[in-house]
Structure 1
Amino acid sequence: MPQISLNSPVGALTVFAFEDQIVALDWGFVEEVESCAVLDEAQKQLTAYFAGRLHSFDLPLAPDGTDFQNRLAGDV
């Protein structure tokens, strides 16, 4: 599964993709990086967000979870 890690003001983050969609964002750093176009764009957008230049994200999301978990995530 493609994944990238980046340092951020809130700590190390790792973003995971599957079939050109973001499927997870987790705390921590991984050494083995396998990027793809959607992860490159996610890194750009996260960097801009933490720099205060971006206020909303435009990324294809397909979070993993039960229907209940995904409904709760939509309410946040």
Structure 2
Amino acid sequence: MWTVLESPIGDLRIVERGGAVSAIEFTPFRQPSDGRPLGARDDAHPVLAEATRQLAAYFAGDLTEFDLPLDPQGTEFQQKVWRELQRIGYGETRSYGEIAARLGHTNAASRAVGVANGRNPIPIVIPCHRVIGADGSLTGYAGGVDRKQTLLDIERTDALF
């Protein structure tokens, strides 16, 4: 099942499998790489309706922590990286090297962390946009650096108004 949410970063396709969010996709939408069919669009499916509600609240600045059933598919290492990403608080950032260190690896694992970060199937909810370069620069983002900047701007807590 799936639904589409209009957002400040373009339409998002939210995919549900087995009672959990399995993907959030940026436009332009593509066919699933694993060959499985998406199923029918179902805007009223409870998991999809709740994901849409929470994402809309996030974009409105009213939600800082998601509470959704998630089922990202990936390798054991990717799963570890994605769990660590979920520990980065709203409005905070970490470098690839910091993530590697938190996982017990040296800075040499930064590249592997970057690859895992880029393969995150549930962006925004698993906040891969909060990972930046060691020098504070915005580095690549599967949805594009402009989207990454917008997401970080939404989370800015130092704005005057």
Structure-2 separation of matches of 1:29 and 1:40: 22
Structure-1 separation of matches of 2:65 and 2:41: 25
The corresponding residue for 1:51 is 60
Decide whether aligned partners of structure 1 residues 48 and 29 sit closer, same or farther in structure 2, where only a CA change above 3 A counts. Answer: farther
User: Whose RCO is larger (CA < 8 A, sep 6+)?
Assistant: 1
Q: Deviations for 1:5-36, whole angstroms, at most 9, x for unmatched residues?
A: 11111121111111111111111266x62241
Check the 8 A contact 1:13/1:29 in 2, yes or no. no
Decide whether aligned partners of structure 1 residues 24 and 71 sit closer, same or farther in structure 2, where only a CA change above 3 A counts. Answer: same
Of residues 48, 71, 76, the one that matches 2:80 is 71
Could you list the runs of 5+ residues in structure 1 that have no partner in the other structure? none
User: TM-score under structure 1 normalisation?
Assistant: 0.85
Q: Secondary structure at the match of 2:70?
A: coil
Q: Secondary structure at the match of 1:68?
A: helix
Could you list the runs of 5+ residues in structure 2 that have no partner in the other structure? 30-39, 86-161
Structure with the largest fraction of strand: 1
Structure with the largest fraction of helix: 2
Of residues 41, 48, 71, the one that matches 1:39 is 48
User: TM-score under structure 2 normalisation?
Assistant: 0.43
The corresponding residue for 2:12 is 13
Structure-1 separation of matches of 2:72 and 2:79: 7
Number of positions where the alignment pairs a residue of Structure 1 with one of Structure 2:
74
Q: Deviation at 1:56?
A: 0.6
Rg comparison, structure with higher value: 2
